[in-house]
A and B are shown apart, each in its own frame.
Chain A
Amino acid sequence: SQQGEEDPQALSIQEGENATMNCSYKTSINNLQWYRQNSGRGLVHLILIRSNEREKHSGRLRVTLDTSKKSSSLLITASRAADTASYFCATLTDYKLSFGAGTTVTVRA
């Protein structure tokens, strides 16, 4: 079942700019994960943040989690053309992953 809403649905930015997308969810979670999907391809796991964590970094990625607001954000800094993809948040509850609707990011060269 689909748990989360993502915002915005689509994002177009210039190479070098930052991209920020948000995810909201409804139920309590064990952790929240972000994935990337290139068109017609499988999912690539980007980063996992546990429910007791507030912020996490991995390379050019920064994820925040606010469990009181049931929301998370993903920031991609210094975007590159290769970052063009769809990004999904997914919440883990009772060993099941539920995916948000996704944000399609287009990075213009």
Chain B
Amino acid sequence: GAVVSQHPSRVICKSGTSVKIECRSLDFQATTMFWYRQFPKQSLMLMATSNEGSKATYEQGVEKDKFLINHASLTLSTLTVTSAHPEDSSFYICSARGLAGATGYDTQYFGPGTRLTVL
């Protein structure tokens, strides 16, 4: 099946610093990528949707200046958490959607997630 990778898998940073998380579709071109966050024992909450070459669309309540998303190519999207604070500590998961052989357009493939801990 289609593979989505994320890097890093785990990051610990000091409060006030910025952290960049990469999301790559390895064997297909992702026309759309999605970023989710998940708090412990909770569901995934969509943060933003990005289409290659255009600005991301953020969900209500998500600060676009704090969570910068760049979808520079059909295989790479990045999420930068700027001036991170302890409350930003969470599990961030990206997913990608695109034609991948017979998988179909309306299936999203998820990355393995990035555990962010802000001290």
Contacts and interface: CB of A to CB of B under 8 A. Distances in A.
Interface of A: 1-2, 30-31, 33, 35, 40-45, 48, 88, 92, 95-102, 104
B115 A42 contact: no
Interface string B85-115: 0000001010101000000001111111101
A30 B107 CA distance: 11
A50 to B, nearest CB: 9
Q: Tell me the interface secondary structure of chain B in the complex.
A: strand
A42 B110 contact: yes
A62 to B, nearest CB: 19
Q: Tell me the interface secondary structure of chain A in the complex.
A: strand
B106 A101 contact: no
A31 B6 CA distance: 26
Contact of B46 (A35, A40, A98): A98
A92 B112 CA distance: 21
B44 interface: yes
Contacts of B59: 1
